[in-house]
Amino acid sequence: MAMSEFYGAFDETENMATLERAMELGITMLDTADLYGDGRNEELLGRFIAQTSHAPLIASKCGIVRTDEIMSDGNFKRERCGTPDYITASCDDSLRRLGIDVIDLYYLHRIDPNVPVEDSMGALAELKTAGKIRAIGLSEPTADELTRANTVAPVDAVQSEYSLWTRLVEDEVLPVIRDTGGTLVCYSPLGRGLLRKTGAPPKLDADDFRRTLPRFTQDSFDANAPLFDLLDEVAADAGVSVPQLMLIWLLDQGGDIVPIPGARKIAHLEQNAAAVDLSVDRAALDRLSAAFSPDAVVGARYTEGKAVKAG
């Protein structure tokens, strides 16, 4: 996602080098969506697939469409769409942009409140039967929506935001995933890069959407100082970086948890990948779990209405 939109300026040459290094490090899945860059992210991956000797698994999504309306922040308004005809057409468009015959994992990016989830799932099941996708996913469903979806066809993967900073999925959705044999794919496992390097939130480009997020304000940053202190302390004691510590904690939540940290720079990518082979003692992980309760984190993950636009 960050290679095409939402997180400031990007460079295609650097993106291609980062993708190639990901393959060398054994990362097997690349996650995209037709929303990201209005299809440009899928086209980027299509160019990468055509030139690399590796065969990555591809996950993509449909279900959020841009309208012609410009909002106050200068971005196009986005709406959810889960009609069967739209899903079928979107899959064909994604296959064309990616330059492949089948998408390994295809998600409905958000559940359309105006379309029964059973209808949307029926379209996804038909795509799987037709051999256009190999697995079905839903992004950010409620527990009820996920339960209903599984009555139509198995939901192989659920993608939701999950990190020390955002743990809402634990309460209701994760138990349903586990009851139905699915996998939780965690986007923003590093809290969208909410790390303390100075006494202020990360410096962001003018077009970086995080500038509008409540959790990235100075007030929230100051209020969360005790949590930053704990991250710094535990990471230093364990001899790992804070991003590595956050990934280690997430991987410790279960073998059915798959984090997908975004990285545009090779150095960040290599640091993230190394977390798989690192460990932190149980007492330290338990301290993090206890400290980072949802009530302890100050600042919502989105402004009202933003949840339809990202992730």
SS3 62: strand
Neighbours of 175 (CB within 10 A): 12
Residue type, 196: R
Residue type, 83: T
Query: Which run of H or E residues covers position 187?
Result: strand 183-187
Task: State the catalytic residue, choosing from 7, 36, 162, 302.
Answer: 36
Return the axis-axis angle of helices 117-129 and 84-98, rounded to nearest 10°: 40
SS3 307: helix
Tokens of 54: 């590796």
Residue type, 93: D
In the annotation, is 162 catalytic? no
Query: Using an 8 Å Cβ cutoff, are 263 and 273 in contact?
Result: no
What is the C-alpha to C-alpha distance for residues 108 and 110, in angstroms, rounded to an integer?
6
Neighbours of 255 (CB within 10 A): 7
What is the C-alpha to C-alpha distance for residues 300 and 176, in angstroms, rounded to an integer?
24
Tokens 């449909």 sit on residue: 62
Query: Using an 8 Å Cβ cutoff, are 232 and 291 in contact?
Result: no
> Are β-strands 105-108 and 157-161 bridged in parallel, bridged antiparallel, or unpaired?
unpaired
Query: Using an 8 Å Cβ cutoff, are 105 and 135 in contact?
Result: yes
Q: Active-site residues: which are they? A: 36
